[in-house]
Structure 1
Amino acid sequence: MDPAEEPPSMLWGLDPIFSAFARLYVRDILHMTESTQVPGIYFYNSHPIYKVDVLGTVVYKREREDFFCYGVDDGTGVINCLCWKNDLLKEQETGKSGGDCTIGAQGGFNPLAELKKRKLAQQSRCRLEIGELLRARGPVKTSRQQREITASTFYKVNDPVMAAQIAWMMEVPQLYKGCYDKPPRPQIHTSGASAISCVTRATQILKDFFKQREVTRFRPYDVQDLLQPLITSQPQPASAEQEPVAGPSAGQQLRKLLKEALQVLQDEGIVFRKVSSQNEVYHVTAQDKDLLITIKDIIREDSKREKYAEKGCHILHILSAVRQRYSLNVSNAALMLSLKSLECNSDIISTSDSYYTMF
């Protein structure tokens, strides 16, 4: 990257990838350009990156007194991973970990024996051989003109049917498509930043109003005046000599802001429209008792069926039934909020991920 094109360091923290362990291909890690402002920071497609997450096969191994050096191959390239030994491995090598584990009654629970088993299991996951699968995450650095990863966490992945590798190969391209290959969002335009901030503030005002007044349903013009201070408090031209710029009126700005805030609330599942009509009546999900009763009835009835007796009803099944009985406009987000509310009140029980039942 040309130093002139490198974004200022004060803006790096605005990129969410900067704070995450980026799951990049080894090929891209090896070809990232290092920052001219701060050593140890690298750029992929203008995204600042300093820590990564890789999964690959060990193709070479070197062991020293305090660390391992594993060569990790993910199919696109090979990178060296420096993995520091923990105290358990050092104790094992010096012979300090082998204690007398025969204390306690025979056939009973022996804490020392169980502790030793756990230590051995942890040691086996840190000591890998060539051909085994390693997952490592940590900061990237350049040592002796060679790119490598200083692993803060590493472990052997037991993957006999290649389930972990297949899941990795399906997830990483989606991350590239949705995050890494997209340029960072511009952060220097104050008008765009103020617009985002204004919508966020408007959304929070509506949330507080619904909670304080326990609103069950409303129309847009019922809450429109709540957002009026956000329009009147917008900054005016710095100089009186500046000519006014033609633009939308205050009423148009208010209606646009309300529309954007309501769309955010719908996306989060906080409100929904039971019937799509010109009246534009919105229901507040948390206060819609009829929706909660419908969900409970569906789970109670279907949990008795043989198909759902063991694990309960899946969330997609509940969503389909709610849309048939109550409203076609209930979103997945609104259903999730209702299910969490019912579960907090002990009306339903989550048997496993995305499955619910009732006793």
Structure 2
Amino acid sequence: MDIGTSVITPSESAEDTLPSMFWGLDPIYGVFAKLYIKDILELKKSQPVPVDDGTGVISCLWWKKQRAMENVRLASSPFGLNVLEQLNRINQLENSNSQLELGDVVQVRGRLRDYRDQREINSTSVSKVVDPVFTAQIARMLELPYLYRNFYDKTFQIQMDSSDPNQQGEPTLSLQRKIKQFLTQNGVKNFYQQELEAIDSLVCIAEQNCVSLCLHHPSQTSQDPPSSACVSKQIHELFQQAVCALQEEGIIFQKVAAHTELYLVTDAEKELHKVTRKIVQDDSTRPKYVDKGCPFHHIVSCVRHSYSAGVSEAAVQRVLDRLECDSEIVSTMDRHYTVS
């Protein structure tokens, strides 16, 4: 069940929460979170702002909207695509998924509210999960502990002392942005890290930040200027951090995971795009994927087998997003893809 995170967790008190003007700084705020029903029921309302997974029972309010297809006027497609037929197919699929019976497993997305002193979910979407061998439920129960441990249980803290650039991560972020801009403007397809460290414009950005870092180092006095060895070491480490951040973002990837190997620019690696699209095209016609499309982790596994074992999930996700933007594939549901 996906629930909009607009309330605080049971472990926090309303008095300890951040002022509402800072909520948007938390990357978790405003996204749909997958939670146990038990925790949903125990969430505390924030003072400033007046699923059956076995952990509890909660009411879900769902207003079904009927589409009047007879009033829809569609222009003819030059490619012979019958848009009205496709819309009717989508409506039939939605209607079949909305025919619920007692005991069905459902996926619910919505926002929490209290009505007559009872916690309920104002649902924006409800879909039936066809899960005869409990694959989806097992995957969910494996996913939730990871989300709780790595995201929900971590209290968001605002660093009030903005004078410390190391705490804010500004040096890495500024160099990361500059590298990304350099790769795009120059049409770079691949590179080694030492090649980036030879680009004057990038080194200038890194050097400015590293001098500041050395001056803030506890062993550095205000009377002594930072040594060249200190600055050089900081520049190299800053480039490493920026490159790692670009990998985590999916902007670049390595075919072989090693610090000395070649980095490839994801958007420029056309072979990776071609391989990914063919996997989606071929496997989405298989009986097990014909209705929902290919799941993301299946695509990642096939890409690593057909293209390279070192491709990161972030890089594959970026390729899928780009293919979808180019209307070569479509996402049928959460991280499932098929050809358009």
TM-score class, shorter = 0.5 to 0.7
Counterpart selection for 1:177 from 149, 155, 158: 149
Consecutive unaligned residues in structure 2, runs of 5 or more: 1-11, 71-81, 216-220, 276-285, 287-297, 330-334, 336-340
Q: CA deviation at 1:208?
A: 3.7
Q: Secondary structure at the residue paired with 1:151?
A: strand
Alignment of 1:303-342 (within 5 A): 314-318=302-306, 331-333=310-312
2:57 maps to amino acid: V
Rounded to whole Å, the distance in 2 between the matches of 1:173 and 1:122 is: 30
Whether 1:14 and 2:25 are equivalent positions in the alignment is yes
CA contact (8 A) 2:255 2:311 kept: no
Q: CA deviation at 1:79?
A: 0.6
Rounded to whole Å, the distance in 1 between the matches of 2:252 and 2:89 is: 49
Query: Which has the larger share of strand?
Result: 1
Rounded to whole Å, the distance in 2 between the matches of 1:223 and 1:130 is: 64
Rounded to whole Å, the distance in 2 between the matches of 1:247 and 1:183 is: 38
TM-score in terms of structure 2 length: 0.58
Counterpart selection for 1:150 from 122, 125, 136: 122
Q: 1:264 to 1:185 in 2, by over 3 A?
A: farther
* Map of 2:54 onto structure 1: 75
Q: 1:245 to 1:14 in 2, by over 3 A?
A: farther
CA contact (8 A) 2:206 2:238 kept: no
Q: CA deviation at 1:20?
A: 1.2
2:110 maps to amino acid: G
Alignment of 1:158-173 (within 5 A): 158-173=130-145
CA contact (8 A) 1:12 1:18 kept: yes
Whether 1:226 and 2:214 are equivalent positions in the alignment is no
TM-score in terms of structure 1 length: 0.55
CA displacement 1:16-49 (0-9 Å, x = unmatched): 221211101000011111101112xxxxxxxxxx
Whether 1:128 and 2:100 are equivalent positions in the alignment is yes
Q: Secondary structure at the residue paired with 2:127?
A: strand
CA displacement 1:135-162 (0-9 Å, x = unmatched): 2111101111111100011122222222
Q: CA deviation at 1:228?
A: 2.9
CA displacement 1:34-88 (0-9 Å, x = unmatched): 101112xxxxxxxxxxxxxxxx3xxxxxxxxxxxxxxxx2200001101112125
* Map of 1:240 onto structure 2: none
Counterpart selection for 2:175 from 182, 186, 202: 202
Q: CA deviation at 1:257?
A: 4.2
CA contact (8 A) 2:197 2:203 kept: no
Q: CA deviation at 1:124?
A: 4.0
Rounded to whole Å, the distance in 1 between the matches of 2:91 and 2:36 is: 32
Q: 1:271 to 1:219 in 2, by over 3 A?
A: farther
Alignment of 1:1-359 (within 5 A): 1-39=12-50, 56=51, 73-87=52-66, 119=91, 121-190=93-162, 191-192=164-165, 195-210=168-183, 212=186, 214=188, 216-217=191-192, 218-219=194-195, 222-223=198-199, 226-229=202-205, 231-232=207-208, 244=222, 252-253=230-231, 255-266=233-244, 268=247, 270=252, 283-286=262-265, 314-318=302-306, 331-333=310-312
CA contact (8 A) 2:172 2:238 kept: yes
Q: 1:16 to 1:115 in 2, by over 3 A?
A: closer
CA displacement 1:173-224 (0-9 Å, x = unmatched): 2111221122224443412577422211112323444553858554575247
1:256 maps to amino acid: Q
CA displacement 1:211-240 (0-9 Å, x = unmatched): 538585545752477333455478899xxx
Rounded to whole Å, the distance in 2 between the matches of 1:273 and 1:247 is: 41
Consecutive unaligned residues in structure 1, runs of 5 or more: 40-55, 57-72, 92-96, 99-109, 238-242, 300-309, 323-330, 354-359
1:270 maps to amino acid: I
Rounded to whole Å, the distance in 2 between the matches of 1:112 and 1:170 is: 40
Q: Percent identity?
A: 27
Count matched residues: 261
Rounded to whole Å, the distance in 2 between the matches of 1:170 and 1:134 is: 17
